Amino acid sequence: MPFDTLNIQLQNNIASLGYTDPTPIQTKAIPLILQGRDILGAAQTGTGKTAAYSLPILQMLNKTASNEPARVQALVIVPTRELCDQTTLAMRSFAIDTGARIINISGGVNITKQIASLDKGADVIVATPGRFIELNRQGHIPLSKVRILVLDEADTILDMGFIREVEHIIDLLPPKRQTILFSATMTGAVKRLSQKILKKPLLVEVDNLSPADLTIRQIVHPIEKEKKNELLSFIIGSNNYPQVLVFTRTKIIADEVSQYLKESGLPCATIHGDKKHGARERALKDFRLGETKILVATDIAARGLDIENLGVVINYDIPHIPTDYIHRIGRTGRAGKDGISITLLSTAEQISWKKIETLLDKKPERITVKGFETTIPTQAAKTRGKSLTKEEEKPKKAAGAFGNKKKKGLVQPKYATKRGPKIAKAESAGKKRSSKSNKK
């Protein structure tokens, strides 16, 4: 189905960007948005959802007189600075020669420049929640003419704790409006939010990224936690990958991993919440252009990140939320191309990994790298009758001993902390004083 069958008027811009046929989410969403319907969309990053809402929004904008500043007609709320920049650039590319003024508002950027841009007027604002509210309170964003609200990556917005900000933004907007909500995962929080803000919504859903896709090869390397840096360096260095995106759970770990890779002779860039906006922008630009081969990122910083032809994603550790694993591996294997996902799995992460395997409904292949064998036996090895070391047996014996005491009617001490002995002494002293007073 070509784009011209969707009644989109921006055909020249679409063609100049190399678009030929619309993606499934665009085919389903664009006609409904043009009809003015509220939409609840389920789609991963990389499925074309930015164009799915941008193209009809740009077409529905009311023209502003040339001698008047533009009034905000559409508001797009996204979770991160990177996605804010990416969405703004995409919308501007769709809007060439339309006269539509599109600006982005996000934290970590010079607020004075943002105020100057707002004072010139805007048809569409793409914003992160916190900075948007801040500038609205200062009176720089008139909202009386807003007709369309988009919440993109709603699950991430809520995961980052922005529910109050979102509710506040909803209260600021005219009640008569069209609302479009897109989310990669339909969590309970997303469903509750959609029930509050959407009016008779239509569900637009496409086949989301399946971790079982044949184009993504998923590999797990069992490894001791303290040897992860060494294995990571070995994997990247020995395979000479053109580009690698490394995910970590926290900002601190991201910095530690980056430092180790640099000391190992592997130049890399890092993006996370503590990095200044300019530094993050440069890191992403260099990675997209191929000037940087290795990018280390946290889950939030990389959400919405779209890198063309990215071949390898490495999970340095297991994400906090199982579905974030799907977001991670979804950065590779785009558009039917081959991709590899590598996970460094320590013994302490086995429980979290089981949850991911349940989500996947499969077990990715496990490969032990020579020279990095784990010394701690797996649960499977234990059940096969392998003997345990004395240190491994200790917890089991302790539990058994306590269990025997419990059977004899003894109760576990209430205080199993350092305060226990002090409390016991105090109780003993109290009993002695009581005994003396009785004798008197």
Both tokens assigned to 417: 């902390």
Q: How confident is the model at residue 413 (pLDDT cuts 50, 70, 90)?
A: very low
Average pLDDT over residues 6-20: 82
- Over residues 207-213, the mean pLDDT reads 52
Strand partners, 217: 340
Lowest mean pLDDT among 1-5, 357-361, 390-394: 390-394
pLDDT band at 83 (very low <50, low <70, confident <90, very high): confident
pLDDT exceeds cutoff 90 at 301: no
Is the pLDDT reported for residue 28 higher than 90? yes
How open is the CA angle 216-218-223, to the nearest 5 degrees? Answer: 155
- Residue 432: predicted pLDDT: 47
- Between helix 188-197 and helix 163-172 the angle, nearest 10°, is 10
Residue 41 has pLDDT above 80, yes or no: yes
User: Over 70: is that where the pLDDT of 166 sits?
Assistant: yes
Superfamily of domain 3-205: P-loop containing nucleotide triphosphate hydrolases (3.40.50.300)
Q: Which residue has the higher pLDDT, 228 or 325?
A: 228
Highest mean predicted confidence (pLDDT) among 61-65, 316-320, 421-425: 316-320
- Residue bearing the bigger pLDDT, 199 or 388: 199
Global pTM value: 0.65
Higher pLDDT, 378 or 43: 43
Here the tokens at position 315 are 């999970």
User: How many CB atoms neighbour CB 70 within 10 A?
Assistant: 21
What pLDDT is stored for residue 20 in this prediction? 77
- Sequence-distant (6+) residues with CB within 8 A of 440 are none
Least confident range of 46-60, 68-82, 289-303, 409-423: 409-423
Query: Domains of the chain: which residue ranges?
Result: 3-205, 216-383
Portion of the chain with pLDDT greater than 90, in percent:
48
Q: What is the CATH number of domain 216-383?
A: 3.40.50.300
Q: With pLDDT > 70 as the criterion, what percentage of the chain qualifies?
A: 80
**More confident site: 1 or 12:** 12
The 3-state DSSP class for residue 222 equals strand
Residues 202-212, mean pLDDT to the nearest whole number? 69
In tens, the pLDDT along 92-145 reads 999 998 889 999 999 878 899 999 999 999 999 999 999 999 999 999 999 999
**pLDDT beyond 80 at 248:** yes
Averaged pLDDT of the chain: 81
| Predicted local confidence at residue 205, as pLDDT | 85
Sort 369 into a burial class: Cβ within 10 Å, 0-12 / 13-18 / 19+: middle
- How many H-runs (helices) and E-runs (strands) does the chain carry? 18, 14
115 is written with which tokens? 């105020």
Q: How far is CA 182 from the centre of its chain?
A: 14
Would you say residue 167 has pLDDT above 80?
yes
Closest CA to 180 of 86, 60, 323: 60
Same fold, 3-205 and 216-383: yes
Q: How far, in Å, CA of 269 to CA of 261, rounded?
A: 10
Identify the H or E element spanning 94. helix 81-94
Output phi, psi for 433, to 5 deg.
Answer: -65, -40
Q: Per-residue pLDDT for 82 more than 70?
A: yes
Is residue 334's pLDDT more than 80? no
- Residues 6 or more apart whose CB falls under 8 angstroms from that of 37 comprise 178, 200, 201, 202
